[in-house]
Amino acid sequence: MDSTIDISDPARALSLPHIRYQLIRLEDTVLFHLIERAQFPLNPTIYTPGAITIAHSSSTSALSFMDWVLRSQEELQSKIRRYQSPDEHPFFPDAMQPLVLPELKYPRILWGNDVNVNAELKQRYVEHILPAVCKGKKERPEAQENYGSSATADVACLQSLSRRIHFGKFVAESKFLAEPERFAELIKKEDREGIDAAITNAKVEQKVLERLRVKAEMYGVDSGMDADAPRKIDVEAVVAMYRDHVIPLTKVVEVEYLMQRLKGTEWE
């Protein structure tokens, strides 16, 4: 569970071509996980705290079944260095466990910060993203045999979305290094609107949405399928997810990271 990105060379890790490559790869990862989740009904019961009794588990009444699965995964993955990597952020920071593998020392790339938007991401995922992705399947009656599979797919979706969104820290650092005086002035003024305007490139965002639409249309059908066969995922739901949630949350990460950029100490 070590870093899945090459950060052995900080200069390369913060180069725009490398960042662009990683973001495109993450688009594929997010989309494939969403397609996997979309095969199941919405199953709202697994997102309701206390709706499912979790045997042999204490203090779980405040957690939904999906949250319990996610927290349990993070407890395990924290032991094998997942959250030592600068591109990974837990949904349950209090669930982190001592390492069973030797601690790693990564090169200095990002500056000290505590930016983590996973709570907002999870809420948006359950309340907006998932209902749109599972549209057309929510009318199907829930079946208990779907609960574990749905929650497992949710964990994969949430973790990939989190990586994609928090990769904004690398984007922000790269942009700062390209124009340090401009961003330093905005940061000193605590001008969040100015920072947001400086990091926004509407043309690039539109290209991302167009590329994602093509991918969703291509990956959302099986080769040899009848033209009238139902798609594996709603293309508009995928595009809306990026437009209304992924891109805005990424910009929140970028802005808040930069707001801490001059106050933090170099990350080691």
45 catalytic residue (yes or no): no
Q: Could you give phi then psi for residue 267, rounded to 5 degrees?
A: -75, 135
- Which of the two residues, 235 and 106, has the higher pLDDT score? 235
Catalytic, 179? Answer: no
Neighbours of 252 (CB within 10 A): 17
Residue 258: which residues within 8 A CB-CB, separation 6 or more? 172, 176, 183, 186, 187, 195, 199
163 has catalytic annotation: no
Cβ contact 67:155 at 8 Å = no
Catalytic site residue from 29, 192, 205, 213: 205
Amino acid identity for residue 158 in this structure: L
Q: Looking at 164, 215, 251, 261, which residue is catalytic?
A: 164
| Mean pLDDT of the residues in the chain | 89
Q: Distance between CA 176 and CA 9 in Å, rounded?
A: 18
Each residue of 6-30: pLDDT tens digit? 566 777 889 988 999 999 999 999 9
Is 96 a residue whose pLDDT tops 80?
yes
Q: Per-residue pLDDT tens for 172-188?
A: 999 999 999 999 999 99
Active-site pick, 12, 20, 25, 108: 20
pTM (two decimals): 0.91
- Residues 6+ positions from 174 with CB-CB distance below 8 Å: 14, 15, 16, 19
Residue 77's closest CA among 62, 95, 94? Answer: 95
142 catalytic? Reply is no
Q: Which of 251, 254, 256, 261 is catalytic?
A: 254
Domain boundaries, the chain: 10-260
Clarify whether 205 is annotated catalytic.
yes
CATH topology of domain 10-260: Chorismate Mutase, subunit A (1.10.590)
Catalytic residue list contains 43:
no
Of 140, 201, 210, 217, which one is the catalytic site residue? 201
State which of 38-42, 66-70, 219-223 shows the largest mean pLDDT: 66-70
Tokens of 43: 């199953």
- Which one from 81, 82, 163, 175 is the annotated catalytic residue? 175
Confidence of residue 37 (pLDDT cuts 50, 70, 90): very high
Selection from 197, 23, 198, 170 nearest residue 111 by Cα: 170
Q: What is the pLDDT of residues 211-250, one digit of tens each?
A: 999 999 998 877 655 556 677 899 999 999 999 999 999 9
- In the chain, DSSP finds a helix count (H) and a strand count (E) of 12, 0
